[in-house]
A and B are shown apart, each in its own frame.
Chain A
Amino acid sequence: MTSIRVSGRGGAAPKVAPYAFVAPAVVLFLLVFALPIGYTVYLSLFRTEVKGLGLGKGSRSEVFVGLDNYVRALTDSELGAGALRVLGYGAILVPTMLGLALVFALLLDEDRVRARGFSRIAIFLPYAIPGVIASLLWGFLYLPATSPLNQLLAELSLPGVNLLSPTGIYFALANIAVWGGVGYNMVVLYTALRSIPRDLYEAARIDGCSPMQIALRIKIPLLAPALVLTSLFSIIATLQVFAEPMTLAPLTNSLSRTWTPLMKVYQDAFGRGDIYSAAATSVLIAVVMFVISFGLLRITRSRAFGGER
């Protein structure tokens, strides 16, 4: 501490202080991020070899197998099917959620609209509710016995729908995520909209632009970088879907234990006890996420993550 004080005196550039301030974060980051990543990569290159009956000490050993686990993961049909399922789920979820978030944000930004404060809070509220609880609530709303939708359809003597069927489950899961995420994205887009100078709209209005034209030709283009970032975060969150299908699984037979790649990782590591395969699959998932993230950021040349000074 004294060295910091001395170095800080007299306006000279402090030398020790910045290191002392970032040290705790760096140490924790290394322990909680870097070390596990390294360890996963290490594990992914090994396999347990069982000698004889696999009983007694020394009958199980770790052997180096190179990229074997990766080859097996890449050729695993269940993992491929899981990846496709997540893609299908994401194809429903991401455009719906961001489309709704954009519409709501644009509406909130309109001066003539009423009940803005209430709507903003109400639409954002689900963000405060954990995915597990959200899935519980929607799960009951989907169950044929408790579903208000089916009760309504029955009143109208129409056939009921089963959102927990193998096809319906995509929409059921996407709906939970849309419900939970639309408000967050709306707030991000709305904040970005508020930072656009108002006189831009005034000028456009004088030139005879309708609010629709202002929205389409001025607001949405200026929102493009924010839309890219919200898409990026939504895609990353989509690829990580885990709690929701895990929670709905007890309510339906449509969700297998390996429905998404992450559920498969969990199943491999703790169900089958094969941490090596799980590690290889984890690495693959992380690589895919990195490629998507950097790809998106590069395409748009967004300065979002550039430093400010």
Chain B
Amino acid sequence: MSAVLVEDRAVTPTPPRRARSIASALGALPTFVLLVGAVYCLFPVAWVLIAATKSSGELFSTTTFSLGSSLFANLSELVGYRDGLFWKWMANSALYAGVGALLSAALSGVTGYALAKYSFRGRALIFNALIAGVLVPAVVLAIPQYLLMAKIGLTDTYLSVLLPSVVSPYGIYLARIYAAAAVPEDVVEAARTDGASEVRILGSIALPMMVPGLVTVFLFQFVSIWNNFMLPFIMLGDDEKFPVTLGLYTLLNQGNTTPALYTLVVTGSLVSVLPLIALFLTLQRYWRVDLLSGAVKA
């Protein structure tokens, strides 16, 4: 990009036309690079939009970006697959990610506020343990979590996926930093002098002030639970309880022997991604993460 401006500088006060057009072409280079990046990132999304219109024959025989003829046939096949199992998967994903992230944001908010605004014995210990928790790979935990769940007979239940998703050390870390910045000390102090209970201060004053930060925590948790593959993969056996990612994965696996299922996988991928993209676009202004200072800037 700077090559551009170096070029600008070198240009004489009345540049010949050719030099000027080179300079303006170079001036467009940074924009061009960004747009190439955008195209690269949108490419698979564009592909799945088109591929979902193809019948299973067309999927492997027509050129990549030519439209197919059976979008509606694919959709109705997807809807009808094993009595609407796909919708069940979608609902399960929404449940795991939605409820999990909501509980997680609430838990992070309360814990983060307490860690930021009170000094009490054990605070440093709790915080350090949580930070270590950020660094412990959740994936490594999945197998012992499974074994423990199995001991108490909870494997293959909704709880087995929900429970481990609720505590998010990263979410608590973000909430703590956000609480420290967003909830002024004297407001808490004033409420206390007015005789408000600690619970009331938290519920009516602190948490409302933390909402923008908690939305970010919710979004992070929502995406990470929706993305989490290993946990449901290990915990669940009954495909009625699968989230959509695991469902599509098993479909792809069966596609090896039944290639017709590939169309289902492609159409299912498209349908499963649409709500995420909608959520993402609606709330995209909340995605501002400063890992160093403010943590969350909304």
Contacts and interface: CB of A to CB of B under 8 A. Distances in A.
Interface in A257-305: 262, 265-266, 269-270, 275, 278-279, 282, 285-286, 289-290, 293-294, 302-305
Nearest to A178: B40
B64 interface: yes
A92 interface: no
A195 B294 contact: yes
B252 A212 contact: no
Interface stretch (B67-75, B78-86, B128-136): B128-136
Contacts of A305: 131, 173
A104 interface: yes
A192 B255 CA distance: 45
B233 to A, nearest CB: 8
Contacts of B157: none
A114 interface: yes
A106 interface: yes
Interface in A135-166: 136-141, 145-148, 151
B239 to A, nearest CB: 15
A130 B37 contact: no
Chain B interface secondary structure, helix, strand, loop or mixed? helix
B6 A236 contact: no
Contacts of B181: 308
Nearest to A137: B44
Nearest to B27: A112
Contact of A141 (B44, B144, B280): B44
A5 B197 CA distance: 5
A230 B120 CA distance: 32
B291 A304 contact: yes
Interface stretch (A23-31, A48-56, A68-76): A23-31
B37 A136 contact: no
Interface residues of B, number: 118
A18 B120 contact: yes
A183 interface: yes
Contacts of B196: 8
A133 B248 contact: yes
A226 interface: yes
Name A's interface SS: helix
B101 interface: no
Nearest to A215: B2
A132 B120 CA distance: 43
Interface in B276-298: 276-277, 279-281, 284, 287-294, 297
A242 B248 contact: no
B126 interface: yes
Given A29-B167, A132-B248, A286 B47 contact: no
Interface in B110-128: 110-111, 113-116, 118-120, 123-124, 126-127
A243 B138 CA distance: 13
Contacts of A13: 118-119
B249 A246 contact: yes
A136 B265 contact: yes
Residue from the set B63, B277, B293 with the largest chain A CB neighbour count within 10 Å: B293
Given A17-B198, A25-B111, A115-B34, A125 B2 contact: no
Interface string A196-226: 0000000000000011110100000000011
A25 B172 contact: yes
Nearest to B130: A29
A255 interface: no
Contacts of A110: 1, 30
Given A21-B202, A37-B141, A226 B292 contact: yes
A74 B34 CA distance: 45
B59 interface: yes
A173 to B, nearest CB: 15
B172 A285 contact: no
Interface stretch (A58-66, A83-91, A116-124): A116-124
Nearest to B193: A11
B234 interface: yes
B163 interface: yes
Nearest to B37: A123
Contact of B141 (A32, A130, A141, A183): A32
Contacts of B126: 22, 26
Nearest to A5: B197
Interface string B165-209: 011010011001100110000000100110111110110000000
B143 A40 contact: yes
A17 B113 CA distance: 11
A279 B130 contact: no
B201 A128 contact: no
A-B interface, 3 closest residue pairs, ranked by CB to CB distance from nearest: A212-B2, A36-B144, A122-B38
23 contacts: A4-B199, A5-B199, A22-B111, A31-B163, A32-B163, A32-B166, A40-B140, A103-B33, A128-B276, A134-B44, A136-B249, A137-B44, A137-B47, A146-B59, A179-B41, A195-B290, A226-B291, A240-B139, A262-B139, A286-B137, A290-B136, A308-B176, A309-B116
Interface of B: 1-6, 9, 27, 30-31, 33-35, 37-45, 47-48, 51, 59-60, 63-65, 107-108, 110-111, 113-116, 118-120, 123-124, 126-127, 129-131, 133, 135-141, 143-145, 147-148, 163-164, 166-167, 169, 172-173, 176-177, 180-181, 189, 192-193, 195-199, 201-202, 223, 226-227, 229-230, 233-234, 245-246, 248-249, 252-253, 255-256, 262, 265-266, 269, 272-273, 276-277, 279-281, 284, 287-294, 297
